[in-house]
Structures are given as structure tokens and as C-alpha cells.
């Protein structure tokens, strides 16, 4: 898949166990930093009622939605436990302390059902 990378800032712009939002041509993306400094990016809306995942609580490699406590895997974008649904994950790369997210070409973009 053809990808271009967009610089979104430094790893230190995101607090540990926190997130920040990035506007992309395809909508808001939440970029998360875990306690172990792992970086993930997913769509910033819960598959349940559209809650802002960027405002949720990060624990391990998951985030809990602030509206109805759904837990979403940062690795797969899938709801965990008994809940069903998913959000699109976005590739991220770290070079030094700089963060980049992938901006996939629209023609080949994959969207989770």
C-alpha cells in the first residue's frame, strides 16, 4: 500500500498513559502513549456511541472510553470483553523522538467494518 507519512510532533508532546488528537483528511485520529512509551494511533471515536477515545484512560495497550467504559485495544482497534465493534488503526512510526502517522492513499485505504 502506498503511504505517505505526516510528522505529528515529538513523543514528549504526549504524556505517558495519555493521548492527543490529530486532524487528518479522513477525520480525527487519537495518538496514544503507553506507560512503556509504546505509541498507537486509532480513530478518535468509540464504536459504541462515538465517545472521544482520546479522553479515555490508557491502561496497558488499551483505552477505556470515557462515556460507557468500553475497552478498546490500541493494537487491534477491537472492543475487548463482551463488547463488539472496532475502530480503524493507523500505522505509526517513531524516528528518534519524532512521531509520524501514515496517510494511506484513499484508493487503497482499508476501513474496518
Q: What is the 3-state secondary structure (H, E, C) of the chain?
A: CCEEEEEEEEHHHCCCCEEEEEEECCEEEEEEECCCCCEEEEECCCCCCCCCHHHCEEECCEEECCCCCCEEECCCCEECCCCCCECCEECEEEECCEEEEEEECHHHCCCCC
| Rounded mean pLDDT, 58-76 | 97
- pLDDT over 70 at 9, yes or no: yes
Q: What is the value of pTM for the model shown?
A: 0.88
- pLDDT over 60 at 82, yes or no: yes
Contact 65, 79 (CB under 8 A): no
Q: Among 21-30, 33-42, 58-67, 70-79, which is the least confidently predicted range?
A: 21-30
All structural domains of the chain: 3-104 (2.102.10.10)
What is the model's pLDDT at position 113?
A: 35
pLDDT band, residue 25 (cuts 50/70/90): confident
Amino acid at each position: 500500500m502506498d503511504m505517505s507519512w505526516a510528522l505529528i510532533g515529538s513523543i514528549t508532546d504526549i504524556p505517558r498513559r495519555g493521548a492527543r488528537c490529530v486532524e487528518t483528511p479522513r477525520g480525527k485520529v487519537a495518538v496514544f502513549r503507553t506507560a512503556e512509551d509504546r505509541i498507537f494511533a486509532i480513530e478518535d471515536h468509540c464504536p459504541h456511541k462515538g465517545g472521544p477515545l482520546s479522553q479515555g484512560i490508557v491502561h496497558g495497550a488499551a483505552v477505556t472510553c470515557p462515556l460507557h467504559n468500553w475497552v478498546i485495544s490500541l493494537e487491534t482497534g477491537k472492543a475487548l470483553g463482551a463488547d463488539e465493534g472496532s475502530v480503524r488503526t493507523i500505522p505509526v512510526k517513531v524516528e528518534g523522538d519524532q512521531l509520524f502517522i501514515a496517510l494511506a492513499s484513499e484508493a487503497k485505504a482499508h476501513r474496518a467494518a
